[in-house]
């Protein structure tokens, strides 16, 4: 399938509220993917748990690759999506920005106020923040709303 055909089955949309320019706080909490450069300078994609906090994304992590990337202030891509395989509808959002470490005091407050939970027991769970510098999204249209190709 060419890029032209695949692009016409999806409709670009902005994840930002058009009135405020901010990412809505009621946006998803859950599982997504983050891509960046990790050990040995090679790109890596990691499964992450996340929650939106105003116009940033908070990620839970341990002391591994994601935490070290936040210490360095790495630029990463973050992608969340949902698709209904039976109805062939869904959405995807990609955000790009720099990671930063959340201080212990702020992390304690965020753990009390945000619905973010670690997936496994950790000796030293940490929180990192992705400052959203660019955000794009696409919505996969219902079959009847897609343009016909000749």
Per the listing, tokens 């769970």 go with 125
Is 134:14 a contact under the CB 8 Å cutoff?
Answer: no
Residue-range definition of the domain harbouring residue 128:
3-142
Those residues with Cβ within 8 angstroms of residue 96's Cβ, 6 or more apart along the chain or in another chain: 75, 76, 77, 78, 132, 133, 134, 135
pLDDT tens per residue, range 29-81: 456 677 776 666 778 888 888 888 888 999 988 888 889 999 999 999 998 88
Q: Confirm if 67 and 126 have CB atoms less than 8 A apart.
A: yes
For residues 14 and 137, the answer to whether their CB atoms sit within 8 Å is: yes
Looking at the whole model, is its pTM more than 0.75?
A: no
Residue 122 forms part of a structural domain: yes
CATH number at residue 62: 2.30.110.10
| Number of structural domains in the chain | 1
Question: Residue ranges of the alpha helices (H) in 33-145?
Answer: 65-72, 104-113
Do the domain assignments include residue 147?
no
Answer yes or no: is 17 within a domain.
yes
């Amino acid at each position: 399938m060419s890029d032209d055909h695949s692009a016409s089955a999806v409709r670009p949309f902005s994840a930002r509220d058009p009135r405020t320019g901010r990412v809505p706080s009621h946006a998803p909490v859950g599982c997504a993917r983050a891509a960046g450069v990790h050990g040995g300078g090679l790109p890596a994609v990691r499964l992450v748990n996340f929650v939106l906090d105003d116009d940033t994304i908070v990620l839970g992590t341990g002391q591994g690759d994601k935490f070290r990337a936040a210490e360095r202030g790495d630029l990463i891509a973050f992608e969340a999506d949902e698709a209904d395989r039976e109805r062939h509808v869904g959405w995807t959002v990609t955000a790009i920005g720099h990671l930063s470490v959340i201080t212990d005091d702020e992390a304690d407050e965020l753990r009390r106020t945000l619905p973010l939970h670690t997936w496994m027991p950790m000796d030293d769970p940490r929180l990192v923040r992705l400052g959203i510098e660019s955000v794009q999204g696409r919505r996969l249209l219902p079959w009847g709303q897609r343009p016909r190709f000749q």
